[in-house]
Structure 1
Amino acid sequence: MFDTIMYPLEWCVANIMVAWHWMLTAVGLPSDSGAAWALSIVGLVVTIRILLIPLFVKQIKSQRAMQLLAPEMKEIQAKYRGKKDQASKEAMQRETMALYSKHKTNPFSSCLPILVQAPIFFALFRVLNYRIEGVDEAKPIGMLTEELAVEAHDATIFGAKLSDSLIGTWGDGDPAAIIVSIVLIIMMVATTFITQHQITRKNMPASALEGPMAQQQKVLMYALPFIFVITGPNFPVGVLIYWTTTNLWTLGQQYYVIKRNPTPGSEAEKAYKAKQAEKAKRKGQVIEGTSEDVTTIEAPEPRQRQQPKKSGTRSQRKKGSASPNQQPKDSQDKTSADEGEKKDDDD
């Protein structure tokens, strides 16, 4: 019955991997190379995470709502602290559910991407362990033919097969498989911790960093990496590649969301506002040396052309008369002649 339930997921995982393998070989990678099959697993992650973007958006909104309602949750918990009777417990539960309904969220929404990815993760584990384990044991499924299963089984990345695991190769003494497995386990654990730290420390308001909910987030931040330290040695190299890649995708996706739209009151929002203020300040300095977002530079008023001053009245100008301040030309000539005759008499 379990095989029947898992078969559809295994079929989807195998077909997506083969589709990516076909595209990679079409651009020139050898069909039986470890690079082609490892990148096919990376392509599987890309496909799954693109399909999960709506759930990721819902997860971010749920986490933000849970962070914002933390102060109200603390008030409810303080109200019923120390009350052990059944009526108080039921009342506390009703008020808590009413609070979730008010903010249109619930604690399980933030776990949706992980819950959806868990069956896919397990399906990949089964494909690598049971579908391409060996030539005699290879079981074709979907587009993953026996020939391709053999290629995937023999393909190596840095000397380690995709189906090798740390525990499985430890007794054989295969140094390449051991080193690759350890490096991938360290990367998987580190990216898991950084992802949890990023969302709990940088994108949570101060009010949400205290109380039982904050303690749960803190426990989760340390518990998940510890779980992978214990279970990682059992995972095949291909599964380690898948989980490390999906952690890196989550890290980048969260970084983009936190940078563009941080939670109100969080450290990320303070950094965002400081950056916006600095950007506005630089922009103002370029224009006029002020810190205003937009500086208005007034255009100079157009200079009016001065009209030449006309002498005399309009009637005088029409008759050709001279202005009171200007003597006629004949008078000027006569005056000059009289002055000349007077000068001759003096001589």
Structure 2
Amino acid sequence: MFNTFFLAPVYNVVVFFLNLFPSHDIGVAIILTTIAIKIILLKLNLSSQRSAYLIKDAQTELAEIKKKYEGDSKKIAEETMRIYKEKKIKPFSSILVVLIQIPIFFALFYVFRDGGVTLRPDLIYSFNNFPETVKNLAFGFMNLSQKYIWVGVLTGITMFILSKRQSLGLAKTKDDKKTTNKKEDFQAVFSKTMQMQMTYFLPVISGISAAVLPSAIGVYWTTNNILSLFQDIYIKRKLKKEGEAKRIENK
């Protein structure tokens, strides 16, 4: 099942991009494959990211509901779902994104684990042709079967910038700041602590992993981080414009 639905499609996308250019540069193929996967999952990723930021933005309202209906779990659930519906939040979209992206990442790992792409008769589609020669020397200087510390550093830095941006959420307005409760409950403090740990922990882990694995993995990871960063910038700007439009309508 994994080979059929994930490994074979990813492998054939890579082979397609290898054939697209006369140089058969595997580094270019990795970048284009990452872009293709991002485009395929774009709608789902945007929906997930949008919901994540809107949930963060609605924390004050959700905290007030918990305080108002303390002890009545049914009413809390009803009011929470009401807010989700009003704000068009899809709380489970992020879980779906993770469930899809994990097998895709492992498929990419299996394709590039040796730093190159070899002919796999059991995976290649009949309409796809494997190139006669494949250059594992990406961009003319980088052997993707080798490990490079600088690739790990680059992966870690791009992951940190992305994690930091995502942890900030949406910028609050002056009115939002006034309504924010100064006394944070245990759940809010715990959430912030976990968020801070993930902001610094994930970049370190991804950086170390990219440094000890074939650099092909690091090239994919870094490219994915950069694309996710642009995606994050886009969704935040879009949400801010939506928020400003609503405030104008309510005046």
TM-score bucket (shorter structure): 0.7 to 0.9
Q: Structure 2 residue aligned with 1:142, among 124, 134, 151? A: 124
Matched residues in 2 for 1:12 and 1:24: separation?
20
Matched residues in 2 for 1:62 and 1:42: separation?
28
What code does the residue aligned with 2:7 have? E
Q: Which residue of 2 aligns with 1:182?
A: 149
State the identity %. Answer: 25
Matched residues in 2 for 1:194 and 1:131: separation?
26
Contact 1:67 1:205 in 2 (8 A): no
Q: Structure 1 residue aligned with 2:200, among 216, 222, 227? A: 222
1:71 aligns with 2:55: no
Contact 1:131 1:139 in 2 (8 A): no
- Trace 1:85-100 onto structure 2 (pairs within 5 A): 88-89=72-73, 92-100=76-84
What code does the residue aligned with 1:68 have? D
Matched residues in 2 for 1:79 and 1:24: separation?
62
Matched residues in 2 for 1:64 and 1:125: separation?
30
Give the 3 Å change call, closer, same or farther, for CA 111–50 of structure 1 in structure 2.
same
Contact 1:188 1:240 in 2 (8 A): yes
Shift, 1:194, TM fit: 0.8
Give the 3 Å change call, closer, same or farther, for CA 159–224 of structure 1 in structure 2.
same
> 3-state SS of the aligned residue for 1:205?
coil
Q: Which residue of 1 aligns with 2:106?
A: 122
Matched residues in 2 for 1:6 and 1:101: separation?
38
Matched residues in 1 for 2:151 and 2:115: separation?
22
1:14 aligns with 2:3: no
Give the 3 Å change call, closer, same or farther, for CA 214–105 of structure 1 in structure 2.
farther
1:252 aligns with 2:249: no
Q: Which residue of 2 aligns with 1:192?
A: 159
What code does the residue aligned with 2:110 have? R
What code does the residue aligned with 2:209 have? T
Q: TM-score, normalised by structure 2?
A: 0.73
Contact 2:30 2:216 in 1 (8 A): yes
- Trace 1:204-243 onto structure 2 (pairs within 5 A): 204-205=171-172, 211-212=188-189, 213-243=191-221
Q: Deviations over 1:157-192 (max 9, x none)?
A: 376532x3xxxxxxxxxxxx34xx211111111111
What code does the residue aligned with 2:230 have? G
Contact 2:155 2:218 in 1 (8 A): yes
> 3-state SS of the aligned residue for 1:262?
helix
Q: Structure 1 residue aligned with 2:136, among 135, 146, 155? A: 155
Counting matched residue pairs gives 229
Q: TM-score, normalised by structure 1?
A: 0.55
Shift, 1:59, TM fit: 2.3
Greater C-alpha Rg:
1
Shift, 1:47, TM fit: 0.9
Greater relative CO, 1 or 2 (CA 8 Å, sep 6+): 2
Greater shift in the superposed pair: 89-98 or 53-62? 89-98
Give the 3 Å change call, closer, same or farther, for CA 65–246 of structure 1 in structure 2.
same
Matched residues in 2 for 1:160 and 1:68: separation?
43
Shift, 1:196, TM fit: 2.1
Q: Structure 1 residue aligned with 2:48, among 59, 73, 78? A: 59
Give the 3 Å change call, closer, same or farther, for CA 59–8 of structure 1 in structure 2.
closer
Shift, 1:122, TM fit: 0.8
The answer for unaligned runs of 5 or more in structure 2 is 245-251
Q: Structure 1 residue aligned with 2:170, among 200, 203, 207? A: 203
Matched residues in 1 for 2:74 and 2:19: separation?
58
RMSD over aligned Cα atoms: 3.5
Matched residues in 1 for 2:195 and 2:103: separation?
23
Greater shift in the superposed pair: 101-110 or 46-55? 101-110
The answer for unaligned runs of 5 or more in structure 1 is 82-86, 165-176, 270-347
> 3-state SS of the aligned residue for 2:51?
helix
Give the 3 Å change call, closer, same or farther, for CA 68–264 of structure 1 in structure 2.
farther
Matched residues in 2 for 1:61 and 1:133: separation?
36
